[in-house]
Amino acid sequence: MAPDGLECDAFMTTVAGMDNVYAISDMTRDGCYPVTQVSVNLMREHSTMTTQVFTDVTSGIKDPSIFTPPVPPCDKVMLEDTTGTELGSDFLKRVRRSFEQFI
């Protein structure tokens, strides 16, 4: 830790395929831990900005089993067919395919 606080670097990224969505992240130089992230969605009349602040960050994963899907898979999750609707965007289709492997 630097005498006056954390030494950080700021990074600006865009979301693939979405030219109007940006994320600005502050990461520590030592360890590359997240400190803050500001997400900006620039739409004409409905722009949004979301700020995330990370606290109590530690290195490593204390319990890697949290990433193991349950067996049997959760039977309470239901995905509805959103094809042909506003919710049927390519992004949501990819998210849906990701979750279908656990159902």
- What is the per-residue pLDDT across 62-100, written as a single tens digit (0 to 9) for each? 888 888 877 766 666 666 665 665 555 566 666 666 666
What integer pLDDT is reported at residue 1 of this predicted model? 46
Q: Is the pLDDT of residue 52 over 60?
A: yes
**If you average pLDDT over every residue of the chain, what do you get?**
77
**Higher-scoring residue by pLDDT: 62, 1:** 62
The model's pTM: 0.50
DSSP code of 64? G
Cα distance between residue 54 and residue 35, in whole Å: 5
What integer pLDDT is reported at residue 3 of this predicted model? 54
**33, 27 Cβ separation under 8 angstroms:** yes
